[in-house]
Structure 1
Amino acid sequence: MSAPTTAPEPSAADPSTPWAGSVRRTADGSLEVGGIDVRDIAAEHRTPVYVLDEADLRGRARAFVTAFTEAFADLAGADVYYASKAFASVAVDRWVAEEGMHVDVSTGGELAVALRAGVPGDRVALHGNNKSDAELERALRAGVGRIVVDSLGEIEHLADLAGRLDLPAPVMVRVTTGVHAGGHDFIATAHEDQKFGLSLTSGAARAAVDAVLARPELTLLGLHSHIGSQILDLSGFEVAAGALLRLRAEVAAETGTLMPEVDLGGGYGISYTGGDLPPTPAQIAPALADVVRRLSAELATPPPRVSVEPGRAVVGPAGLTLYRVGTVKPVTTEDGTERRYVSVDGGMSDNIRTALYDAAYTAAVANRRSEAPAVVSRVVGKHCESGDIVVRDVLLPGDVTSGDLLAVPATGAYGRSMASNYNLLPRPGVLAVRDGQARYVVRPETEDDLLALDVG
């Protein structure tokens, strides 16, 4: 059994809190978010429901833009892209754009959402290891600011397509630097044996740069690196930045082309249980600026314009998922210890990360305060899978019972975006809250939605 967590009480002053900034306990013990009591949210909107604190999200976006603008002011400047794969919706893309962010997309669907949100094409970046012709053409016609190429074959294909359409194609080359950072292997993206990028060690990255330079239909903006996700230690970014800047200097010396930009990716971690102290934008930006400043001087090359791509760090802490408890079942484990299984009305269809990555979360009783002694509990869903676990081990009051509300914090990233209809459960809606007002930015699905796709 893993060590059980205890959900910390909401505190905007605690930098390790997993709760959104507006979450607090009311006088009678219920949780409030965005000025709205969760009991009122549950009464008006069915559970489970994703609840998104708009002011918190905007504040995190603004903090990244401010920190990087200030830290790189004496260099060549910086741009901050929102990695919308964490959670893409028209409202969220619009919010982050209004706070000064660009938007990073990885599919045609995410591109469509960004464009619907009114994000200018030149402030959009397109990623992906297997972009379709339709996705590339739509990106070119939208005038995206960059297409991050991921293979030698894609370079030739994109150049041919841009030539046929007679449209500009600004590209960055995604480099596999060999830095392995973050949590689970599935979310570490810069080691050699995986699907993303072009290896620096094998020479593929340099070959890709030369291939782009050989095609006049393409404009080489620079180099891109993404070393993983849920990263709490910034040292990996220094190693990756060094690799990119050295390749940039090598290309400049040998070809006369000095690439103007370098993208250091994202993957900045957040606190899921209150046990982590993730770096803040005010810590990240100066650290990366110092690396770029020092290495550029050592390599005797002008510093590049730098971009980064936070996603989880912007939207993750801004969200929580609200569930209603169904059954509560005490179980004696094989080693003789007691655990209570607390079943909620959602599960792995609205948060697959626990099953997929063994991700850690915490939970709290949301509709009341309890003085009952805490007991080791496992929050599970209603799916026909023994691995349908939302929170593996958490200390919850021993009087948790059917009808109670549970809140799981830090679910704004990769909850709704990875949700499914497993067991034909409709996906929950995303309810934005701010200043006592609530509105759906993504409406909840219904059984009619499910049946509308089933043509019999």
Structure 2
Amino acid sequence: MPLQLLPDHSTIAADGSLVIGGCRVDDLASEFGTPFFVYDEVHLRDRAREAVAAFGPGVAYASKAFLCTAMAALVHEEGMCIDVATGGEMRVALAAGVPADRLVMHGNNKSNLELEMALAEGVGRIVVDSFDEMDRIEALVAGGLPVPSVLLRITPGIEAHTHEFVKTGQDDSKFGFGLASGAARTALDRAHRSTAMHLVGIHVHIGSQVFVVDSFRKAVQTLAPLVNDLGLPEFSIGGGLGVAYVEGEESATITQWGAVMNQACRDAGITAQVSAEPGRSIAAAAAVTVYTVGTIKDLPGIRTYVSVDGGMSDNPRPVLYGSGYETFLPRAVAADRPREIRLVGKHCESGDVLVREGYVPDDLAVGDLLATPVTGAYGHSMGSNYNKVLRPPVVFVRDGDARLVVRRETYDDLLRLDV
């Protein structure tokens, strides 16, 4: 198991077992049951502080990566703003005690209700994504709501090197105002003239899980003339910094990313305050998902299927994007893993695959705990109740203490919305 993929404050006990944040994973499994997400709280805090150091106090945590009230409170305590993309994310952040002026509201199709909430609460920034949204904002302000400060999301025509489903900066995108089409200039002119919007900056986002930092630099170079011509005080480069999920992958740190971006902006003559919206790079590597093995099926000459008590309901990324993960046993973290398996979930779906090519020790047995690292982003947040499976709890660990921040769902929860 590549130990660098584990949360920062992970150690191996004398008996070979995994310890995260001073807590033995097998003890956590006994206390909270499986499956569950365990997050290294200090890892999260360190990454948030790193982001503030790299980009300043305007940097925003992209909450779609992982959000609950405890996480919202944590990043706020460490000096970050929070990027919310729906009324639901806004409600969670506000419930956590985050001041509305520390929120950045995103979304390509914000509803009247969501915009009304944002304006009434006094959200710090709204990232405007369409002409229709401008119409809605102008109508709400005409109805008596406060004038918001806005950035316009510009689509620069940059093809980021990432999965097709998470590319957002190319001309053919549902997001933003296209630069090549002239829509960006038209939108900026309208926002500048509008009495219902206070235009403070430009926003760009080229995609997610981007390893090639040059892609971000190209976006800066492409938009620099626009940013400089307007002389606006803010320029957000968005998020999307990739993280390593499997052995052999490497990614830039937040510090390295910030240094490259700030230098690129200086080289382009941009004097606006540069900000960013890291999410995955804050949360992903901070967590491990822990399962219990329920079934092992050896198909001679084909493969070995190992089924666990979770699946695509707690981590849909492998199904959506073909994402890779490592597999290991928390009781033997550093052990050799010669046995190849396919890790699958418990859902009635052949595509319910968590790890297509996983490796475990030869003595894997039914009842073993089995874990996948780097699951802190887009697991819990994209989870579902497919097959009415109960969504797992979330546990934060720090200095030997474990605290439950999201409880496990119950069967009563599944019925709560039925009428």
TM-score by length of 1: 0.89
Secondary structure class of the residue paired with 1:160? helix
Equivalent of residue 162 in structure 2, options 172, 183, 189: 183
Aligned mates of 2:127, 2:39 — CA distance in 1: 30
Q: Is the 8 A contact 2:11 2:18 kept in 1?
A: yes
Unaligned runs of 5+ in 2: none
Q: Of 89, 112, 116, which residue of structure 2 is paired with 1:110?
A: 89
- SS across alignment from 2:381: helix
2-structure distance, mates of 1:102, 1:370: 38
Please tell me whether the aligned partners of residues 378 and 392 of structure 1 are also in contact (alpha carbons under 8 angstroms): yes
In the TM superposition, residue 373 of structure 1 has moved relative to its aligned partner by: 6.1
Cα 1:372–1:88 change in 2 (3 A) is: closer
- Report the Cα distance in structure 1 between the residues aligned to 2:205 and 2:348, rounded to whole angstroms: 36
Q: How does 1:278-317 map to 2 (within 5 A)?
A: 278-296=251-269, 303-317=271-285
Residues of 1 paired with 2:53 and 2:355: CA distance?
Answer: 35
Change (3 A) 1:182 1:93: farther
2:250 to 277, 295, 315: 277
Structure 2 equivalent of residue 72 of structure 1: none
CA contact (8 A) 2:119 2:145 kept: no
Please tell me the root mean square deviation across aligned C-alpha atoms, in Å. 1.5
Find 2:185's aligned residue among 206, 213, 220. Answer: 206
CA positional deviation for 1:84: 0.2
Deviation of 1:399 (Å): 1.7
Is contact 1:28–1:369 with CA below 8 Å preserved after alignment?
Answer: no
Structure 1 letter corresponding to 2:341: S
From 405, 409, 412, give the equivalent of 2:376. 412
Q: Decide whether the 8 Å contact of 1:152 with 1:211 is kept in 2.
A: no
Q: Which residue of 1 aligns with 2:59?
A: 80
Secondary structure of the residue aligned to 2:15 is: coil
What is residue 139 of structure 1 aligned with on the other side?
118
1:371 CA displacement: 5.8
Matched position secondary structure for 1:441: strand
Structure 1: which amino acid aligns with 2:277?
E
Pairing partner for 1:229 from 185, 196, 208: 208
How far, CA to CA, are the matches of 2:196 and 2:112 in structure 1? 16
Secondary structure of the structure 1 residue equivalent to 2:289? strand
Check whether the contact 2:10–2:19 (CA below 8 A) recurs between aligned residues: yes
Give the structure 2 partner of residue 61 of structure 1. 48
Partner of 2:412: 448
**Maintained 8 Å contact 1:373/1:397:** yes
2:329 maps to which residue? 365
CA distance in 2, matches of 1:207, 1:136: 22
Shift of 1:159: 1.6
1:148 is matched with 127
The equivalent residue for 1:238 is 217
Contact 2:304 2:341 in 1 (8 A): yes
The DSSP-based 3-state class of the residue aligned with 1:439 is: strand
Deviations 1:267-309 (A, max 9, x none): 111111132221112211111111111111xxxxx60011100
TM-fit CA distance, 1:114: 1.0
Q: Distance in 2 between matches of 1:60 and 1:370?
A: 26
Specify the alignment match of 2:227 in structure 1. Answer: 248
* 1:47–1:345 CA contact under 8 A, matched in 2: yes
Question: Which residue pairs with 2:236 in the alignment?
Answer: 263
Whole-angstrom CA distance in 2 between matches of 1:104 and 1:182: 23
* Bigger shift: residues 108-117 or 178-187: 178-187
Contact 2:254 2:281 in 1 (8 A): no
Q: Map Cα deviations across residues 7-26 of structure 1 (whole Å, 9 max, x no partner).
A: 31x2xxxxxx2210122221
Deviation at 1:340? 1.4
Q: What is the identity, as a one-letter code, of the residue corresponding to 2:412?
A: D
Q: 2:22 aligns with which of 32, 35, 40?
A: 35
Q: 1:367 to 1:133 in 2, by over 3 A?
A: same
**Once the two structures are superposed, what CA deviation does each residue of 1:360-410 show, in whole Å capped at 9, x if it has no partner?**
111111124686761211110000111101111012112211000011111
Aligned letter for 2:352? Answer: D
Cα displacement (A) at 1:47: 0.4
Partner of 1:427: 391
Distance in 1, matches of 2:235 and 2:309, equals 45
Rounded Cα–Cα distance in structure 2 between residues aligned with 1:339 and 1:222: 54
Please give the secondary structure, in 1, of the residue aligned with 2:59. Answer: strand
Cα displacement (A) at 1:182:
4.2
- Tell me the equivalent position of 1:323: 291
Q: Name the CA shift for 1:290/1:193 in 2 (closer, same or farther; >3 Å).
A: same
Paired letter, 1:327: T
Local SS of the residue matching 1:367:
coil
CA distance in 2, matches of 1:372, 1:216: 65
Single out whichever of 433-442 and 353-362 deviates more from structure 2.
Answer: 433-442
Shift, 1:339, TM fit: 2.3
Q: Matched residues in 1 for 2:291 and 2:120: separation?
A: 43
For the pair 1:25 / 2:12, whether they are aligned, the reply is: yes
TM-score (norm 2): 0.97
Structure 1 runs of 4+ off > 6 angstroms? none
Number of matched pairs? 419
Output the amino acid matched with 2:363: D
Q: Which shifted more, 421-430 or 20-29? A: 20-29
Q: Which amino acid aligns with 2:395?
A: L
- Aligned letter for 1:40? D
